[in-house]
Amino acid sequence: MTEEKKLVIASAYFASDKVIFAVRDDGAATGFRVDKVDAAGESVPDDQKMEEDLHSAVEGIKNLLTHTEKLRAVVLICPGPFRTIDKDSHLYGEISHNAEVRYWRKKNAIELFRKRLISEMGADTEDSEIYIYNQAGATAVGEYLHIYGNKIKRSKSRGKLHKQLGNHLYVVADYTIDAALIVEGEPFHGLSTMNVGHHAVIPVDEDDQTLELLQNRTHPERPCLNSLASLDAIKKRWSGMRSEEFSCCTDKSKISRIAFYIAQMLANVILSVSPAKIVIGGRIKDNPHMIPMIRQHIDYLLRDQENPEIYPGYPQINDLDSFIVEQDYRDSGVKGGLHVLARTLIKEHDESNIASFEAYKKGLYPL
Ligand SMILES: [Zn+2]
């Protein structure tokens, strides 16, 4: 007797320290289950770390499923940039040669994952669909829903509500610094995803030796945010300082220096898209002084000194505590990934667009 298996969708988020995975029922935003394990550590050779992390994700997803469930689709939320986001391209799934996480470079995450999936979970997964998505984008979607999900569900006019809520910027400040923007409820991307980590920032009060040490090889003449203020930069600046050490660092001059560069990037983005809120995630903000210092620097960089009480068009700056906030939901990345995946599946398989309305009713939309 063969029984009809219940379809589920899954996401796996590859952070530098953890592999986080989640599953939920297909076609409805229920049955959410999540778990995580440590990412491949020092004992694993660099050239095997990616495969090891993909393996952890397959194992993790397998453990979250019951024997009456079938995996319909998976989204891999990987370190970028990606070679292409065109799903029909033979390069889809490949990580770019300039990815900051070196051991992911030039490898095809989808191919490697599929191979492992079939060998671990059998022929049942041969037709499972696999997609990739960027980390800041998935986190942005998850965090936006975490903050406004209930409000959106109850709203009679979602389009109007999204307009009122305004643009939201999500920053993941970690080994690299990335960001994503939600515009009227939709994740924004142009031809590529936002890459604030390579935004030019002005080095202040740095000696030549430090600048040389932190120089980015791909664009040596242009100091960027990643090269000056990412966890990678922190490690290079202060004799191998790791993220855990930086989170309990009490040297205000060090924290302020990093906060100042992040604030420079934020100031430019604020001036470009005037977001209603900025949410900061990643391990750099784990230092309790970081976000308050970023707020101070934003005030310093953007306040109109001639008319300090009115900065036309940017009222957010008058209430920095609610304007710049910390990501408070740790699983936003995998949860956002599931939403993006559900939405992708509808778009991929819906030719008439009527199914979108069904999905909308089930609460899969707005994203
Ligand atoms: Zn750069």
Confidence (pTM): 0.86
Cα separations (Å) of 291 from 43, 261, 282, 297?
Answer: 34, 12, 12, 10
The alpha carbon of 85 and the centre of ligand 1 are apart by a number of angstroms equal to 21
Q: How far is the CA of 177 from the centre of ligand 1 (A)?
A: 10
The alpha carbon of 35 and the centre of ligand 1 are apart by a number of angstroms equal to 33
CB atoms within 10 A of CB 318: 13
The secondary element (H helix, E strand) that includes residue 199 is none
Q: Where in the chain is the domain with CATH 3.30.420.40?
A: 6-134+332-362, 167-275+283-326
CB under 5 Å of ion ligand 1: residues: 198, 216, 224, 226
Using alpha carbons, select from 197, 72, 218, 90 the residue that is nearest to residue 134. 197
CATH fold label, 167-275+283-326 = Nucleotidyltransferase; domain 5 (3.30.420)
For residue 277, list its beta bridge partners: 168
Cα 218 to ligand 1 centroid, rounded to whole Å = 7
Q: Per-residue pLDDT for the chain (367 aa), expressed as one digit of tens each?
A: 456 889 999 999 998 889 999 999 887 667 889 999 999 999 999 999 999 999 999 999 999 999 999 999 999 999 888 888 888 899 999 999 888 788 999 999 999 999 999 999 998 899 999 999 988 899 999 999 899 988 988 888 888 898 899 999 999 999 889 999 998 888 887 666 788 999 999 999 999 999 999 998 889 989 999 999 999 999 999 988 999 999 999 999 999 999 999 999 999 999 999 999 999 999 999 999 999 999 999 999 988 777 776 566 678 888 999 999 999 887 889 999 998 898 888 777 765 544 455 555 555 444 4
Please say whether the dihedral angle defined by the alpha carbons of residues 123, 125, 131 and 134, taken in this order, is positive or negative.
negative
Q: Please give the distance, rounded to the nearest whole angstrom, from the Cα atom of residue 195 to the centre of ligand 1.
A: 9
Using CA atoms of 160, 162, 165, 166 in order, give the dihedral in degrees to the nearest 10.
-110
Q: How far is the CA of 176 from the centre of ligand 1 (A)?
A: 10
The architecture CATH gives domain 6-134+332-362: 2-Layer Sandwich (3.30)
The rounded Å distance from CA 226 to ligand 1 centre is 6
Separation of CA 289 and ligand 1 centre (Å)? 25
Say how many Å lie between the CA of residue 14 and the centre of ligand 1.
22
